[in-house]
Structure 1
Amino acid sequence: MKLSLSDKVMKTIIYSLLLVLAFITFYPFWNSLVLSFNVGSDAAAGGITFWPRKFTFENYELVFKEKSIYHAYLITVLRTVVGTLVAMFFTALFAYAMSKKGIVFKKFYTLFAIFTMFFQGGLIPYFVVMYNVHLYNTFWFLILHGMISVYNMIIFRTFFMELPDGLEESAKIDGCSNFGVFFRIVVPISGPVIATLSLFTAVFLWNDWFTPSVFINNQNLIPLQTTLVQIINAGATASLLTNVNSHTASMLQNTVTVKTLQMATMMVATLPILAVYPFLQRFFVKGVLVGSLKE
């Protein structure tokens, strides 16, 4: 189909705006990556934009000499994997129950859940509750915090409501219980929405730094993002520079700076979760749309 002149002009304007928006979004990340691979003393002079002026791996070498990084990685990976599995299980189970007709007090449960999306008790009451139930400063808090997402539950519930009733009825005729129907019929055909919401949950758990900084005091349980925030703090970064042996410090004192070390640490903390996106991106549109078309 041949486009008119006005259509061509409009498409040119739209694509140009999208390119500008993409550049504005991507450039800060790219510049941080470039700085992380540049000699610190040279980066301090400024003027580095798209490519390293003096390429080096020394910033990353220093980051990986810090043992706390490895332990923080382990805590974050465990939190993300286990927390995502637990959140998907309980959120999907809750949503499945809310998708069924005839549930006693169903409307009350739904309104009660939605109420929590807009009104919360506040940080101090939440802290007191976590402390009294002995979850403060424990790994289980990292797993159970945010276990139920009402937003994800609504998407799950809407998706489950669209499933044909005949699937469950035929399964129950064959002797399946409600749990059997859920695990053998519903879950296997819910791949797109589960993959999409799992990624949303995993990204939240991976990036969450504030909650552990308040509720976790044990340095052995501090996740990676909270460690990153501590390192971005200039004083913590300076202490990291002094943790290496004197010979290494004398070699790096003129090449590694606080700024480039911060950029390298940021890349180490960010790249793993970014690597997951290409594998699950194809589920995004389908997974969200199938759970939002019907209410």
Structure 2
Amino acid sequence: MQLLQRRTAGEAIFDFMNNVFMLIICFVTLYPVWYVLVNSFNEGADAMRGGIYWWPRVFSLGSYQAVFANNGIMTAMGVTIAKTLIGTIVHVFFTAMIAYAYSRRELIGRKLYMLIGTITLFFGGGLIPTYLLIRDLGLLDSFWVYIIPAMFSFFDLIIFMAFFRELPDALEEAAKIDGANDFGIFCRIVLPVSMPVVATIALFHGVYQWNDYFTGMIYINNTDLQPIQTYLYRVVAQSSSNQMMAAAPGIVAQSVTSQSIKLATMVVTTLPIVLVYPFLQKYFVKGLMIGSIKG
């Protein structure tokens, strides 16, 4: 009984310390986001004095009015939404289709294909050869530069394969008896029962598409085709915030600064993907567990 009591007390101390440690980690992770949010809702000139940590001292929507008064950010938002939706759908379907073929034991040369794909996980062609390839394909200053090069990922293929291999063979056998071909089996049977892994890969790639600024910075010169993250890069690293201040209405321009516009732009570019994540979280957690338990 005494050993049991000591063990129970030890467990209680461990749980307490573990909770304290996790709370500290959560605070360190979330507070920078809260700091940006609070300062973005504070009047820009007042925020320059500092001392704002938890709540806005002088509440103002001037920074957001200046951001949305700029037509460039709305155009960039539209490009980002389009490339995220189209790119995610194309990526998930194309990668899943190839992964389904790789998961079939009767595929000729499957081991060779896996070897070649595994090499690409560790070695890449480099920026200059990639740029030359994109140029020769005619994708410079094209919306499809966001879609076509990102259609396939061997890492995502491995996750798909782990799920497809766990599907019972009886599903395919029954479909083949009914006269379905491989493509029909994939579209009508395999994909519908693979929603956990589909949602996981969609979240992975959707976040990538939304956060990708490098593609727009390297391959796009037309400002009408630049995504929101590239626009944010221009605001933070260049003088676009000063241009937004100059273009803002007179009353708004008096209450904002370049720093407050930068913070408001960060919130605007981050908020949509943060709001989407909770709806896919249950599929995301389940999808990450694929292949971790063997019966």
Q: Return the TM-score normalized by structure 2.
A: 0.95
1:147 aligns with 2:146: no
Hey, what does 1:256 align to over in structure 2?
256
Q: Give the alignment partner of residue 67 of structure 1, picking from 65, 71, 84.
A: 71
Q: What's the offset of the Cα at 1:23? A: 0.4
Hey, what does 1:128 align to over in structure 2?
132
Partner SS, residue 144 of structure 1: coil
Q: What's the offset of the Cα at 1:255? A: 1.7
Q: What's the offset of the Cα at 1:47? A: 0.6
Q: Which moved more, 1:140-149 or 1:5-14?
A: 140-149
Q: Which runs of 5+ in 1 are unaligned?
A: none
Q: Give the alignment partner of residue 17 of structure 2, picking from 13, 21, 25.
A: 13
Runs of 4+ in structure 1 deviating by more than 3 angstroms, as ranges, are 291-294
Hey, what does 1:265 align to over in structure 2?
265
Q: Which amino acid aligns with 1:36?
A: S
| Identity between Structure 1 and Structure 2 (%) | 43
- Provide the aligned length of Structure 1 versus Structure 2: 290
What is the rounded CA distance, in whole Å, between the counterparts of 2:293 and 2:102 in structure 1? 17
Q: What's the offset of the Cα at 1:242? A: 1.2
The verdict on how the C-alpha distance between 1:81 and 1:228 changes in structure 2, with shifts beyond 3 A counting, is same
Is this contact kept in 1: 2:66–2:253, CA < 8 A?
no
Is this contact kept in 2: 1:38–1:54, CA < 8 A?
yes
For residues 274-285 of structure 1, the aligned pairs below 5 Å read 274-285=274-285
Q: What's the offset of the Cα at 1:264? A: 0.4
Q: What's the offset of the Cα at 1:218? A: 0.9
Q: Which amino acid aligns with 1:163?
A: L
For residues 68-217 of structure 1, the aligned pairs below 5 Å read 68-217=72-221
The verdict on how the C-alpha distance between 1:220 and 1:260 changes in structure 2, with shifts beyond 3 A counting, is same
For residues 203-242 of structure 1, the aligned pairs below 5 Å read 203-242=207-246
Deviations 1:196-220 (A, max 9, x none): 1101110000000012100111111
Q: Give the alignment partner of residue 39 of structure 1, picking from 39, 43, 48.
A: 43
What is the rounded CA distance, in whole Å, between the counterparts of 1:165 and 1:221 in structure 2? 46
What is the rounded CA distance, in whole Å, between the counterparts of 1:291 and 1:122 in structure 2? 32
What is the rounded CA distance, in whole Å, between the counterparts of 2:17 and 2:150 in structure 1? 42
What is the rounded CA distance, in whole Å, between the counterparts of 1:284 and 1:124 in structure 2? 35
Hey, what does 1:289 align to over in structure 2?
289
Q: Which runs of 5+ in 2 are unaligned?
A: none
Q: What's the offset of the Cα at 1:254? A: 3.7
Is this contact kept in 2: 1:155–1:292, CA < 8 A?
no
Q: What's the offset of the Cα at 1:233? A: 2.4
What is the rounded CA distance, in whole Å, between the counterparts of 2:65 and 2:86 in structure 1? 30
Is this contact kept in 1: 2:200–2:288, CA < 8 A?
yes
The verdict on how the C-alpha distance between 1:185 and 1:253 changes in structure 2, with shifts beyond 3 A counting, is closer
Deviations 1:234-260 (A, max 9, x none): 52211221123xxx23x2444211111
Partner SS, residue 102 of structure 1: coil
What is the rounded CA distance, in whole Å, between the counterparts of 2:269 and 2:292 in structure 1? 32
The verdict on how the C-alpha distance between 1:214 and 1:234 changes in structure 2, with shifts beyond 3 A counting, is closer
Q: Tell me how large the CA RMSD over aligned residues is.
A: 1.4
Is this contact kept in 2: 1:156–1:193, CA < 8 A?
yes
What is the rounded CA distance, in whole Å, between the counterparts of 1:232 and 1:260 in structure 2? 11
Q: Return the TM-score normalized by structure 1.
A: 0.95
Q: Which amino acid aligns with 2:288?
A: V
Q: Which amino acid aligns with 2:10?
A: S
Q: What's the offset of the Cα at 1:180? A: 1.0
What is the rounded CA distance, in whole Å, between the counterparts of 1:290 and 1:235 in structure 2? 46
Deviations 1:3-46 (A, max 9, x none): 71111111111000000000000000010000100001110000
What is the rounded CA distance, in whole Å, between the counterparts of 1:91 and 1:154 in structure 2? 10
Partner SS, residue 20 of structure 1: helix
